Amino acid sequence: MTAGRTGTMQSQIANAPTGPRRGPASGKTRFDDIYDQPDPRAYFRRLAPFQYEIPHHGQQVFRRDRSERGKLPGAAGPVTVLDLCCSYGINAALLNHRLTLAELFAHYTSPAALAMSRAQLVDHDREFYAARRLPDAAPVIGLDTAPNALRYALDVGLLDAAYAENLEHHPPSDELRDAVAETGLITVTGGIGYISHRTFDALLRCAREPLWVSAFVLRTVPYEEVAACLDGHGLTTRTDRRRTYPQRLFTSMAEQRGAVEQVLLAGEDPAELEAEGRYHTRLYQSRPRGTAR
């Protein structure tokens, strides 16, 4: 990304709305206070007891998808990835670095990290990620409504560009339109429910390259409207209904009851999944017609 685009992006972050986030399902615990901190330490401390793990499952999926998307006829150069609801750049960290999610939890909850100032942590993390960066790292663009989280991800080098824009309520900026035009793969691990088909419609209207979409979606959240939107843009969506990916432990019995009710209302069976104490997701992969597998 060019220096000019980065400068424009900084202005967008400074002027971004910071209203409350909407939960993706009734009864789901809200963690609003950890999504937009100056750095991700509180995020990892809060989620550690609940064994939050969905970025771990996304790591190999997104690496494989990026590689396969880059093999399409006419593909030139590395595939640019747009990560929706990117937060502190965790998916970018796992995509482009020799790291595991467990190592990130250990890093950000360590006594050494907790003792640092924000400036010290940023300096440390620049070196931390640079030392582990893969030689085939992909350019990653971040989209979120959390300007502080985006600023951290930029400051430590996880994102090449970031946009604090809410496409549920506002059209994309010209800068974001230009960035999406260069994108080959859209990823999301925890945002469906916070964002809807409106965000996807706005993004795909900007696409110039054949776009792929890979989304991990809670079983408590419907995806049909998003899939229909993607279909309208020429993308066929597939999922393996036999396979799920755990997201995290429930925070309470009340949260579990709410999740089980949502799953039952969706016509799904919570036995051995939500009934055992964890949120579960499905992976939905959307490809241009003729390339869907």
pLDDT at residue 22, as a whole number: 38
Q: CA 104 to CA 65: how far, in whole Å?
A: 22
pLDDT at residue 9 above 70? no
Among 18-22, 48-52, 100-104, 191-195, the least confident range: 18-22
% of residues, the chain, pLDDT over 70: 90
For residue 5, the tally of other CB atoms under 10 A from its CB is 17
In terms of DSSP H, where are the helices of 131-214? 147-155, 174-181, 197-204
pLDDT at residue 12 above 50? no
Smallest CA-to-CA distance from 141 within 200, 186, 82 is with 82
pLDDT at residue 10 above 60? no
pLDDT at residue 20, as a whole number: 35
For residue 118, the tally of other CB atoms under 10 A from its CB is 14
Set out the domains of the chain in order of their start, with CATH numbers.
3-17+30-246 (3.40.50.150)
Is 24 in contact with 194 (CB distance < 8 Å)?
yes
Among 15-24, 140-149, 258-267, 271-280, the least confident range: 15-24
Q: CA 191 to CA 86: how far, in whole Å?
A: 8
* Predicted confidence (pLDDT) per residue in 111-158, tens digit: 999 999 999 999 999 999 999 999 999 999 999 999 999 999 999 999
Q: Which helix (H) or strand (E) holds 212?
A: strand 212-218
Residue with tokens 């409504």: 145
Q: CA 129 to CA 118: how far, in whole Å?
A: 16
pLDDT at residue 72, as a whole number: 83
Q: CA 42 to CA 56: how far, in whole Å?
A: 19
pLDDT at residue 269 above 80? yes
